[in-house]
Structure 1
Amino acid sequence: MSAHLVDSILYGHLWGTPEIRRLFDDEGRVQSWLDILAALAQAQAEVGLVPDDAARAIRDHADVRLLDLERVAAETRATGHSTLGLIRCLRDVLPEAAREWVYYGATVQDISDTWTALVMREVADIVDRDLARAEAAALALAERHRDTVMCGRTHGQPGLPVTFGFKAAVWASELRRHRERLAEGRPRWEVAQLGGALGTMEFWGEAALPLLEAFARRLGLAAPDIPWITARDRVAEFVNLLAMVTATIAKIGQEVYELQRPEIAELAEPFTAGQVGSITMPHKRNPELSEHLVTLARLVRADATVTVEGMIAEHERDGRAWKAEWVAVPEACLYTGAALALACRLLEGLDVDAARMRANLDARGGYVLSEPVMRVLADRVGKHTAHQIVYEAALAGRERGVDLGTALLADPRIAERLTPEEIARCLDPHAALGAAPAFVDRVLATIRGVRR
């Protein structure tokens, strides 16, 4: 039985993906740590610190299947040390001649921070892949609905017309920027850690710097300019980017959540037969996907706060700062993986009701087109005067319960300056889209150009 939802048989699918979970479960974590220990031994052999035979033996036995994880756990509890249980169990399966060369001069943080760098690399690959998929789905919506008019809304109220393609293009553009941030940040995060007791690498003498380079190279990581034992900005930056990624996804989810309301009914998330919205109200079709995206994003932001707090570390090592990441980083990665998987499903299966969008726009009686009228009138009486006139005419029209066109023609200050034909042109939603379709084209061209 699991005490954490991410590992729950019943609910785990909502809080992570099998792909990311494998990076953080005991088997995945221990195997990665063993790989790091093997790389360390081989790098030490390369610079003459460890016998070649011992390094090869460590590499050949760095296999989690050779270890009894229950015993590793018992030794960890007995020693009160994060890795001594693992080292003892690994030494037991090694040839005697290799046993003294395991973990030669390294510390827990050398192994765990290097593991974190490897995890950030693997998670970044997954995040970029799924962001690309979400971006492609948003881009397809933008292209398909380039000219699909709908109410734009500000402060929750109908404003000018926009197109749904414009809305989707904003999503695609934002998702693209997160992919750019990932690419820009990776050289800062994918960096090995090897410092020894205090980060000075004193144990390894003159071989220290060559060892650092060899160790990092064998793992496909960069060598740091200086060990980063108390410099937690790398981890904080990575998790905060995950927070930004999930915040964008949550914004999309929240938009679908709002526009799926039956009184608006312009969007609907994909629905599968057998899906139940409520155990008490059989008619309900709840926005489960879009709602959960907001929940996941809140949790990632909370984990991001923990990693920023970790940047305030004491002296040359501070377990309070560093070990909090052992919880925050896996959680943030799992929640982000789940959010991206759900977002792809949402965007790829999104049901867009163009007719309802137009009907909701028309139901506003033309009042959402007050700005185009004001703009034309401004050429004749000045912008601020035009605003006051149209404001008063719209207010009077709403009080009388008539559409905006009727209200405008009833105001002599407008009727004597604008013809009915000019007013009719102002009240055409397609004429009031401004550069919205052109902006969609710009996003399409930019992202497709980058892809090429």
Structure 2
Amino acid sequence: MIPRYSTPEMTDVWSDTSKWGRYLEVELLATEAHAEIGVVPADDAASCRANAPTADDAFVEAILEREAVTDHDVAAFVDVVQSAIIDAAGVDDGAAKWIHYGMTSSDVGDTVLCWQLRDAADILLAEIDRLIEVLVGLAREHRDTVMIGRTHGVHAEPTTFGAKVALWALQVARDRTRLQAARDTVAVMKLSGAVGTYSNVPPSVEAFVGNALGLQPVPATQVIARDRHGEFLYACASIGATCELMAVELRHLQRTEVREAQEGFKPGQKGSSAMPHKRNPISAETVSGLSRVLRSNLLAGLQDVALWHERDISHSSVERVVLPDSSHLAHYVMRRMGRLLSNLVVFPERMQANLDASYGLVFSQPVLLGLVASGLTRDDAYRIVQRNAMQAWDDGVDFRSLLEADDEVPNDILDDAFDLRRSLSNLDTIFTQLDDLP
């Protein structure tokens, strides 16, 4: 991931130093597991642990230099580790030969990858909790901030900004459920050998390593099934889609003609290199853009599910890009959205003015229902209301005044129909759902 959209927490998970350090730990644990069952001498396993190289930049560089010769990254890693153990011991006591004993590259690689995905998911879960907290707070703050609800971009009926945000919070909570499930799905490992039959590594070794890492051993071919990775990518893409839902709405609300909300604008910030008056919705637009990348990565990940026979490596190159990138982007998008919402400026007066700008037409449905309740057929009532509504639009006149002058409309239904409190009287149904969020 390019530095612009990287986060320190995800960089710690996905850096080459972290990756090869994890590879090393899996190898050492496997050696110790073999010692537990008497395959590897206990002194040799201890020597491997005591003389193992430090996972640092020099270690990574040595692997890359060796890979230039082997043209195989895991084989290069094994060579470097074995050489380092021998050098540190000062003598080739035979301990180093047990590194990678009985295992294939994917035993180590897939276990490490799932370990990284689990840790990435834990970071995302912490961030999504923070985002939900921001949303719930904003929703409650603006529970009664009245605004016009829009369908098809056209004035519909009154709602509140808080109700809008509450629905966002509930959707992000569903994303949290999906993410938790994906986390559990990828928190697995395998050390079952070349085609997954445990022909050279007994299940007890796999169980030992899995227990040490907190990963669940699962049946596999040479590789762990890629539907698991696809589920993780879906969770990331779903988070992006939800954040884009919020971002698109906030972009619309920031349009000059609407101006019901506005992103925070810090001292010294410039909205345009050419036009000093500009205060653009840059955070919301960034979120919209990055969500497209998350969705694209999901497609690539799903195409990795179908591999030849017990494995090929067509998925490997894809995953080196999409799994760390999606982890970074989902984290960045949530963090950027959280900052946007925390610093959002809301204009209640502008919301009220926009609601009033459609001549009271937002109460057309209560009028319709009032006419039906007074005895008219629905079609007759609809015709009366629509006729007056179209005149209000076309002539720019007050809708209620037209209804009061219409002989077919009993005036005693209008007070209730045009009562804003009636329109918003059941908002508790939405907000009580926030109380149930874990």
Distance 2:58 2:26 in 1: 16
Match of 2:411 in 1: 418
Counterpart code for 2:192: G
For the aligned residue pairs, the C-alpha RMSD in angstroms reads: 1.7
Aligned pairs for 1:440-451 within 5 A:
440-447=430-437, 450=438
CA contact (8 A) 2:253 2:259 kept: yes
CA contact (8 A) 1:40 1:215 kept: yes
Distance 2:401 2:407 in 1: 12
Match of 2:14 in 1: 24
CA contact (8 A) 2:367 2:385 kept: yes
Number of aligned residue pairs: 430
Distance 1:225 1:71 in 2: 33
Counterpart code for 2:148: C
CA contact (8 A) 1:269 1:351 kept: yes
User: Which of 375, 379, 382 in structure 2 is aligned with 1:384?
Assistant: 379
Counterpart code for 2:402: A
CA contact (8 A) 1:143 1:440 kept: no
Q: Does 1:42 align with 2:32?
A: yes
Distance 1:338 1:183 in 2: 18
Distance 1:323 1:215 in 2: 26
User: Which of 271, 275, 293 in structure 1 is aligned with 2:265?
Assistant: 271
CA contact (8 A) 1:67 1:90 kept: no
Render the CA deviation track for 1:30-51: whole Å, top value 9, x for unaligned. 1122122222222222222222
When normalised by structure 2's length, the TM-score is: 0.94
Counterpart code for 1:427: F
Match of 1:405 in 2: 400
User: Counterpart of 1:64 in 2: which secondary structure?
Assistant: coil
Match of 1:88 in 2: 79
Pick closer, same or farther for the CA change 1:258–1:446 going to 2, 3 Å.
same
User: Which of 48, 68, 73 in structure 1 is aligned with 2:64?
Assistant: 73
Pick closer, same or farther for the CA change 1:378–1:62 going to 2, 3 Å.
farther
Distance 1:220 1:136 in 2: 29
Match of 2:102 in 1: 105
Q: Post-superposition shift, 1:183?
A: 2.6
Aligned pairs for 1:135-284 within 5 A:
135-204=132-201, 208-227=202-221, 229=223, 231-284=225-278
Q: Post-superposition shift, 1:249?
A: 1.0
Q: Does 1:356 align with 2:347?
A: no
CA contact (8 A) 1:39 1:219 kept: no
Q: Post-superposition shift, 1:117?
A: 1.0
Q: Post-superposition shift, 1:66?
A: 8.4
Q: Post-superposition shift, 1:226?
A: 4.0
CA contact (8 A) 1:365 1:404 kept: yes
Q: Post-superposition shift, 1:260?
A: 1.0
User: Counterpart of 2:39 in 1: which secondary structure?
Assistant: coil
Render the CA deviation track for 1:234-280: whole Å, top value 9, x for unaligned. 10001111100111111111111111112111111222111111111
Counterpart code for 2:274: T
Pick closer, same or farther for the CA change 1:194–1:84 going to 2, 3 Å.
same
User: Counterpart of 2:353 in 1: which secondary structure?
Assistant: helix
User: Which of 296, 302, 305 in structure 1 is aligned with 2:296?
Assistant: 302
Distance 1:225 1:107 in 2: 15
> Structure 2: 5+ residue runs without aligned partners?
87-91
User: Counterpart of 1:153 in 2: which secondary structure?
Assistant: strand
* Identical-pair percentage: 31
Counterpart code for 1:120: L
> Structure 1: 5+ residue runs without aligned partners?
1-5
User: Counterpart of 2:166 in 1: which secondary structure?
Assistant: helix
User: Which of 321, 342, 345 in structure 1 is aligned with 2:315?
Assistant: 321
